């Protein structure tokens, strides 16, 4: 049987990184997690670390600011997956330099896990959110590091619990706002499913130097369709408040950063259609659902 790659996960105590580490262990990859010193003494994080360690992960002390420990950690593995938060994306510059110096990495999966940063059409609105991720792509490619980028679009825990109503934590039961042209489709993926697709891509040559897009059936819906699903679940029609593009743009501009970012992401997905306007294959990407039809995932209806 082919040997499974040894995987180093940076961000293993984070929301997505923890799921990726668990998926890696479930798939029997020798799994290493680079953990910052302070996480070992944080109660919530140490619980996660115990779970990973009990499942067989090797915990290595280090951080994205400590080049020596980074190189030591990278030298023990074949694949590096980074899942630091969007605010920390540029810290990956040192990681890229360390990967280059270590010289043993056959695939790097940088911290993206969202909308394809090179395909969004909202320039100027996102305070460089996507530009930072795109900058990391340029650096990875300029250094000749083998890569896979994972574009899963929205996590299900983000915006879906409120049926895409900024400021709400649960779905509305009386009135619902519908943004944009009502028909642009957005994609929502459960974090644990994003992790399973990511780990499936690790040793798959079809994903080498490719963008892996996740758009599975049952997870791609317009705002109209999301509201219909919710109405059918509660057996009630909601009053619809239609918010046209100009009104949403005005609200985005009036609201200070970062409070306006939910609306920016809604604008990108449900007005501009950034999750789905392009064809995956003809844009040079690969479709996760076609590559891994055996993977079970949570649909929006089930969620
Ligand atoms: N598509 C979506 O809807 C969506 C939603 C959220 C996030 N995302 C994306 O998912 C990715 C992961 O985000 P997340 O929300 O899961 O992140 P998160 O929960 O904030 O976790 C960040 C992780 O990075 C670690 N970290 C931070 N600074 C570090 C450093 N200097 N050195 C080493 N490790 C460091 C943290 O470790 P400590 O425990 O030590 O702090 C933590 O494990 C990001 O690319 C983000 O943009 C996408």
Taking the chain (303 residues) in consecutive chunks of 10 residues, what is each chunk's mean pLDDT? 91 98 98 96 94 98 98 98 98 98 98 98 92 98 98 98 95 96 93 98 98 97 97 97 96 96 97 97 97 98 97
CATH number of residue 233's parent domain: 3.90.25.10
pLDDT at 263: 97
**How many C-alpha atoms does 111 have within 13 Å on its Cβ side?**
25
**Same domain, residue pair 57 and 90:** yes
Indicate whether 117 and 226 sit together in one domain: no
Q: Is residue 147 part of a domain?
A: yes
Gap from CA of 111 to ligand 1 centroid (Å): 8
Q: Are residues 61 and 95 in the same domain?
A: yes
Assess if residue 174 is contained within a domain. yes
Asked if residue 16 has its Cβ within 6 Å of ligand 1, the reply is yes
- The pLDDT score that the predictor gives to residue 125 is 95
pLDDT of residue 183: 87
- What confidence score (pLDDT) does residue 182 get? 82
* Atom number of ligand 1 nearest to Cα 36: 40
Is residue 192 in contact with ligand 1, taking CB distance under 6 Å?
no
Nearest CA to ligand 1 atom 6: 155
The minimum-distance atom of ligand 1 relative to the CA of 39 is: 40
Query: Same domain, yes or no, for 175 and 196?
Result: no
Domain with 36 in it: 7-154+190-216+276-291
Q: Is the CB of 259 under 6 A from ligand 1?
A: no
- For residues 226 and 166, membership in a common domain is answered with yes
Whole-number Å distance, alpha carbon 285 to ligand 1 midpoint, is 24
The answer to whether position 2 is within a domain reads no
Q: Is the CB of 158 under 6 A from ligand 1?
A: yes
Ligand 1: nearest atom to the Cα of 89: 45
Rounded distance between C-alpha atoms, residue 303 and residue 300, angstroms:
5
- Specify the ligand 1 atom closest to the Cα of 18: 43
- The residue nearest atom 7 of ligand 1, judged by CA position, is 85
pLDDT value, residue 1: 57
Q: Are residues 15 and 93 in the same domain?
A: yes
Residue 196 sits in the same domain as residue 260: no
Whole-number pLDDT of residue 124: 87
Decide if 297 is inside a domain.
Answer: no
Check whether residue 200 and residue 231 sit in a common domain: no
| CATH number of domain containing 42 | 3.40.50.720
Residue 164 lies in a domain: yes
Residue 301 domain-assigned (yes or no): no
Are 223 and 212 in a shared domain? no
Pair 223, 209 in one domain = no
Ligand 1 pocket mutation, candidates 41, 80, 113, criterion most atoms within 8 A of CB: 113
Any catalytic annotation for residue 133? yes
- Our count of domains for the chain comes to 2
Instruction: State whether 55 and 105 are in the same domain.
Output: yes
Residue 29 backbone dihedrals phi, psi, to 5 degrees: -80, 135
Q: Let me know whether 121 and 235 are in one domain.
A: no
Residue 254 pLDDT: 97
């Amino acid at each position: 049987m082919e040997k499974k790659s040894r995987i180093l996960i940076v961000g293993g105590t984070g929301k997505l990184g923890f799921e990726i580490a668990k998926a890696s262990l479930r798939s029997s990859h020798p799994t290493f997690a680079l953990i910052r010193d302070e996480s070992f003494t944080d109660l919530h994080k140490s619980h996660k670390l115990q779970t990973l360690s009990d499942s067989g992960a090797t915990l290595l002390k280090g951080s994205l600011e400590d080049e020596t420990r980074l190189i030591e950690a990278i030298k023990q593995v074949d694949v590096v997956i980074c899942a630091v938060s969007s605010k920390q994306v540029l810290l990956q510059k040192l990681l890229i330099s360390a990967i280059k110096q270590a010289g043993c990495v056959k695939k790097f999966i940088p911290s993206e896990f969202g909308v394809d940063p090179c395909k969004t059409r909202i320039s100027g609105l996102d305070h460089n959110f996507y530009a930072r991720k795109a900058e990391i792509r340029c650096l990875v490619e300029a250094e000749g590091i083998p890569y896979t980028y994972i574009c899963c679009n929205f996590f299900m825990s983000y915006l879906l619990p409120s049926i895409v109503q900024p400021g709400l934590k649960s779905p509305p039961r009386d009135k619902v706002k519908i943004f944009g042209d009502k028909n642009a489709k957005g994609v929502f993926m459960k974090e644990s499913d994003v992790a399973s697709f990511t780990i499936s891509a690790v040793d798959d040559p079809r994903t080498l130097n490719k963008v892996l897009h996740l758009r599975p059936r049952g997870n791609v819906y317009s705002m109209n369709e999301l509201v219909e699903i919710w109405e059918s679940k509660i057996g009630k029609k909601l009053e619809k408040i239609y918010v046209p593009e100009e009104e949403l743009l005005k609200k985005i501009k009036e609201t200070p950063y970062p409070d306006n970012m939910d609306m920016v992401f809604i604008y990108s997905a449900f007005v501009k259609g950034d999750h789905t306007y392009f064809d995956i294959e003809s844009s040079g990407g690969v479709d996760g659902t076609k590559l891994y039809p055996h993977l079970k995932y949570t649909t929006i209806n089930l969620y």
